[in-house]
Structure 1
Amino acid sequence: MATVTANAVRLLPEFDARQLQEELFSLGGQRFSPQATYSEGEITESLTEGWRVLSLRSPGGDPSRTDAGGPGLVDYADTPYLEEAPYTASVLRGLGASLRAVRFMSLEPGAAVGEHTDHPYGLPVGWARLHLPIVTNDQAVIVIEGVEHRWQPGELWYANFGRPHHLYNHGPQPRVHLVIDVYVTPGLLDLFPADVRDGIDESVVMFQRPEVRLSSAELEGLSGSIPVPENFLRTYPEPPTVTEFEEAAVPDSVGDLRAENGRLVLRVGDRYETVLVHLGGLEFRPLCWTEERTMRFTDTAGTSRIVFGYRHGGHRAETVRQGSPS
Structure 2
Amino acid sequence: MDNTVTALAGQIAQLDSVDLAQLERMRHEALTVQAPWKAEYGAYQSGGWWTTSLMNVSGDAADVTIGDCAAKPTELLAQMPATSALLDELGLNYMWVRLARLEANAFLWEHRDYDELDQVERHRLHIPLHTNTSAFLVTGGTKVHMSGGRIWRLTPTYAHGVCNLLGPDRIHLIADVYADDAYRRLARHPSLHPGTAEPLPSANHAVLAERLQAARNIAELGYTEAAERMLLRLFYTYALPEGAAYDLIAELHTSLGDMEAATRWTAAKRRLLVLTA
- Deviation by residue 1:250-296 (Cα, 9 ceiling, x = unmatched): xxxxxxxxxxxxxxxxxxxxxxxxxxxxxxxxxxxxxxxxxxxxxxx
For structure 2, which runs of at least 5 residues remain unmatched after alignment?
1-7, 192-272
Rate the CA distance shift 1:46–1:150 in 2: closer, same or farther, 3 A: closer
Mapped to 1, the partners of 2:155 and 2:45 lie a distance apart of 23
Mapped to 1, the partners of 2:102 and 2:190 lie a distance apart of 33
Rate the CA distance shift 1:66–1:186 in 2: closer, same or farther, 3 A: same
Corresponding residue to 1:35 among 34, 40, 60: 40
The Cα of 1:56 is off from its aligned counterpart by: 0.5
Corresponding residue to 2:25 among 19, 33, 49: 19
Structural mapping, 1:114-193, within 5 Å: 114-120=109-115, 125-193=120-188
Match of 1:283 in 2: none
Would you say the 8 A contact 1:48–1:113 is kept in 2? yes
Rate the CA distance shift 1:23–1:175 in 2: closer, same or farther, 3 A: same
Following TM superposition, where does structure 1 have runs of at least 4 consecutive aligned residues deviating by more than 3 angstroms?
44-48, 193-196
TM-score of the two chains, using structure 1 as the length reference: 0.52
Mapped to 1, the partners of 2:82 and 2:71 lie a distance apart of 20
User: Greater CA radius of gyration, 1 or 2?
Assistant: 1
Match of 2:14 in 1: 10
Match of 2:47 in 1: 49
Structural mapping, 1:1-326, within 5 Å: 5-16=9-20, 17-28=23-34, 31-36=36-41, 48-70=46-68, 75-120=70-115, 125-194=120-189, 237=274
Higher strand share: 1
Mapped to 1, the partners of 2:99 and 2:189 lie a distance apart of 29
Rate the CA distance shift 1:34–1:194 in 2: closer, same or farther, 3 A: closer
Would you say the 8 A contact 1:121–1:160 is kept in 2? no
- Deviation by residue 1:20-53 (Cα, 9 ceiling, x = unmatched): 111112214x6312124xxxxxxx8866410101
Match of 1:276 in 2: none
Would you say the 8 A contact 1:9–1:192 is kept in 2? no
- Deviation by residue 1:98-121 (Cα, 9 ceiling, x = unmatched): 011100001110000110011249
Higher helix share: 2
RMSD value over aligned CA atoms? 2.7
- Partner of 2:186: helix, strand, or coil? coil
Mapped to 2, the partners of 1:25 and 1:195 lie a distance apart of 29
Amino acid at match of 1:11: L
Rate the CA distance shift 1:13–1:62 in 2: closer, same or farther, 3 A: same
- Partner of 1:56: helix, strand, or coil? strand
- Deviation by residue 1:114-134 (Cα, 9 ceiling, x = unmatched): 100112499x83111100001
**How many pairs does the alignment contain?**
185
